[in-house]
Structure 1
Amino acid sequence: MPGNKGVVYEGPGKVEVHDTDYPEFELKDGPGVNPANVGRKVRHGAIIKTVATNICGSDQHMVRGRTTAPQGLVLGHEITGEVAEVGPDVEFTKVGDLVSVPFNISCGRCRNCKEGKTGICENVNPDRPGSAYGYVDMGGWVGGQAEYVLVPYADWNLLTFPDKDRAMEKILDLAMLADIFPTGFHGCVTAGVGPGSTVYIAGAGPVGLAAAASAFLLGAAVVIVGDLNKERLAQARSFGCETADVSEGEPWEHIERILGVPEVDCAVDAVGFEARGHGREADTEHPATVLNALMEVTRAGGALGIPGLYVTGDPGAKEEAARQGSLSIRIGLGWAKSLSFATGQCPVMRYNRQLMMAILHDRVQIAKAVNATPIPLDQAPRGYQDFDKGAARKFVLDPHGMLGKAG
């Protein structure tokens, strides 16, 4: 049996790479594992040899100490890899398959899964609907920033690439299918982006950049990306976006400069609960800033796609209400404008196959858009530090040195 290494959360601001247990077809007790899941048999699962596993902004919330994540948690929910073993109940997935792993863990059997709502599966997290690998309060499924990881319900969850050699040539693009590309696409779809749309995307991190690329794929006429980080705004401009430096003013001011009117057809929140203010308040955290700004700049009758993460508990919040997940949202403005809101985890399986085809047939260059940057697994701590400082990169961990072989 091979060994295993994983990226482990060791407390606020600290991650380390440690030797970890090789996966078995049974959930073991450990940091963050729900007691009701301990001993759960996973005969329907597959053990994946990780080819690419990405550092996500959602991971950063935990590493910054902004959640109740326990020390010792193995991180990572963006996984692409090769099937190393299959459980006895797996019928169609084969050893050697190259696969994308949706970050949502879902059973394929419950009402929500059958309705396509795989982000809120009812059977994988005893606490509440919805689960993910290596994430706080998500059932305790071990994370995939590791050499090997267990994936349950393999025949249901795994997206197998049809041609392994061709897939390896585009592996950095395909690595974005586990989360940020479908998540950004979902944000745009739920915001109503279509041919000729004008779109404002708050946040030029990887999800925001993926949303911008998705907006173009959906036919948007103008895509405006707002952020406080000049390097990330430059990355957005590199593939055709207009940009708004919100440290220099409110989003509506930039939108009016670009479009001649202070409103857009569609808006996407790719920032989430650690939002900062605009203009003079850019150095101060204001968790409702983005949501309120999007309501202001979206035309009446429009919609807001909200893939940015909001939490039920934020121990690092400055206000007591925000610590409980309560924000000062201008719901009256949203009501008056008849705006629609779509929140929650992206149901990755709703989009990943179509986006895979867009990648394989050169309709989108998502790795280039998000500046995907491979690094070895042992450099994960440095990757987390650089990402936290605002690097305009999507760091992709390479546990087995296989990404250098990609074309």
Structure 2
Amino acid sequence: MTGNKAVAYKEPGKVEVIDVDYPTFELKDGPGVNPANVGRAVNHGVILKTVATNICGSDQHMVRGRTTAPPDLVLGHEITGEVVEVGRDVEFIKVGDICSVPFNIACGRCRNCKERKTGICLNVNPDRPGSAYGYVDMGGWVGGQANYVLVPYADWNLLKFPDRDQALEKMLDLTMLSDIFPTGFHGAVTAGVGVGSTVYVAGAGPVGLAAATSAHLLGAAVVIVGDMNADRLAQAKSFGCETVDLSKGGPAEQIEQILGVPEVDCGVDAVGFEARGHGSNASEAPATVLNSLMEITSAGGALGIPGLYVTGDPGGIDEAAKKGALSLSLGTGWAKSLSFTTGQCPVMKYNRGLMMAILHDKVHIAKNVNAKAIALEDAPKGYAEFDAGAATKYVLNPNGYLS
């Protein structure tokens, strides 16, 4: 039997690389697996040998203890891999194909999938619409920060790269197709970004930088990124963004210094539920980003909200926040006729087009998010550095495909 190691959540602030079972074409019981999914046959799936699998800010929420994730949950929803086994019912994907895996698992059969709403598939999670690999309350599909991982509904879910050598050469860019690039793009699209737009992106982490990259790709005139982390703001500047240092106060006045007016056409929330207030000594204030975006987005504009919000947060600052209830100034949004789009990005809506942009050198997302490949055994260090604010997108290299 082939060995398999994986990155697992142990307790708040701690991950470990552990030995786990090699995948089979059946969903087994284990940490975080929904009981109704135990024993589920996956003859429509494939087993991937992982080429690249990334540490995500959404993983970091769990590792900080800000969700109900159980110990030994195998992490990892940003997966790219080489097919090494195919299930009985797989027709088009073949052994040897190198493929990107959308982080949201979708059946391809339900009403939502047929309407391209693959982030809220109705058939893969018994508890609620929508699922993902290696994530709490998402059905229990085992994560891909591992040597090998099972991918269900393979003919539907997998995006096959057209040329193996080209894919491996551009892997640090292509690995971003599993989540952050489509997610950032979705944030920009749903915020209404187009040719000539002025855009404010809250958050200079990898998703925020991906949203800023996407805004440029969509033709924005000015892209402004706000954060408190000087290194991450410098990363945004490195590919042509204007920046706002939120440790110096709210964004409106600094936006006015850039644009001449204290508002933008389009706003993107790439922060989520662990948001802090503004100013040098700001504490956690989870509604800050959404309320400030409503204030600075022009009337009739839109907010794209790819930042993660949860229904259960043990570390929330008050009882309301622990249930995902925030003090939003909805009246501001109503008065200004603002539109809001939230939820998981439907990755399959965008990933092929973004793949083509990468393969034809129209965008260099790995450079913009400062991607860095590290060994699987270095994952705990990568998590710690990312949590400390490193302006880096850590890409795990479990099987040595990456230089």
Q: TM-score, normalised by structure 2?
A: 1.00
Q: Give CA-to-partner distance per residue, 1:218-246, whole Å, 9 cap, x none.
A: 00000000001000000000000000001
Please tell me whether residue 54 in structure 1 is matched to residue 54 in structure 2: yes
- Shift in Å at residue 4 of structure 1? 0.3
1:317 and 2:316 are equivalent in the alignment: yes
Structure 1 equivalent of residue 289 of structure 2: 290
Question: Deviation of residue 401 (structure 1)?
Answer: 1.1
1:114 is the counterpart of 2:117: no
Aligned length, in residue pairs:
403
- Aligned partners of 1:99, 1:297: CA distance in 2, in Å? 40
Q: Name the CA distance, whole Å, in 1 between partners of 2:103 and 2:119.
A: 9
Note the C-alpha offset of 1:254.
1.0
State the partner residue of 1:38. 38
CA distance in structure 2 between the aligned counterparts of 1:314 and 1:237, rounded to whole angstroms? 33
Describe the SS at the equivalent of 1:223.
Answer: strand
Cα distance in 2 for partners of 1:333, 1:135 equals 34
Q: Counterpart of 2:256 in structure 1: which amino acid?
A: E
Q: Which residue of 2 aligns with 1:222?
A: 222
TM-fit CA distance, 1:281: 4.6
Structure 2 partner of 1:172: 172
- Deviation at 1:249? 1.4
Q: Report how far residue 92 of structure 1 moved.
A: 0.2
Distance 2:281 2:377 in 1: 37
SS in 1 for 2:8: strand
SS in 2 for 1:10: strand
Structure 1 residue 121 displacement after superposition: 0.2
2: CA distance, partners of 1:279 / 1:396: 32
Task: Report the counterpart of residue 396 of structure 1 in structure 2.
Answer: 395
Other structure's SS at 2:82 match? strand
Q: What's the counterpart of residue 379 of structure 2?
A: 380
Distance of 1:302 and 1:57 partners within structure 2 = 27
Match of 2:19 in 1: 19
* Post-superposition offset of 1:280: 4.7
1:279 and 1:400 map into 2 onto residues whose CA distance is: 43
SS in 1 for 2:53: strand
Give the partner amino acid of 1:69.
Answer: A
Q: How many Å separate the matches in 2 of 1:211 and 1:100? A: 19
Q: Deviations over 1:6-65 (max 9, x none)?
A: 001001000000111000000000000000000000000000000000000000000000
Q: Deviation string for 1:303-333 (max 9, x for gaps)?
A: 0000000000110011110001000000000
Aligned partner of 1:360 in structure 2 is: 359
Counterparts of 2:240 and 2:117, CA distance in 1: 32
C-alpha distance in 1 between matches for 2:152 and 2:275: 34
Cα offset, 1:158, TM superposition: 0.1
Q: Which amino acid aligns with 2:368?
A: A
SS in 1 for 2:74: coil
Between the aligned partners of 1:254 and 1:214, the Cα distance in structure 2 is 22
Distance 2:324 2:356 in 1: 38
Q: Give the 3-state SS of the residue equivalent to 1:200 in structure 2.
A: strand
Letter in 2 for 1:258: I
Q: Secondary structure at the match of 2:211?
A: helix
Alpha-carbon distance, 1:2 to partner = 1.1
The residue matched to 2:177 in structure 1 has which SS? Answer: helix
Q: In structure 1, what residue type is equivalent to 2:393?
A: K
- Unaligned ranges ≥5, structure 1: none
SS at match of 2:11: coil
Residue type matched to 1:117 in 2?
K
State the secondary structure of the residue aligned to 2:201: strand
SS state at 1:167 partner = helix
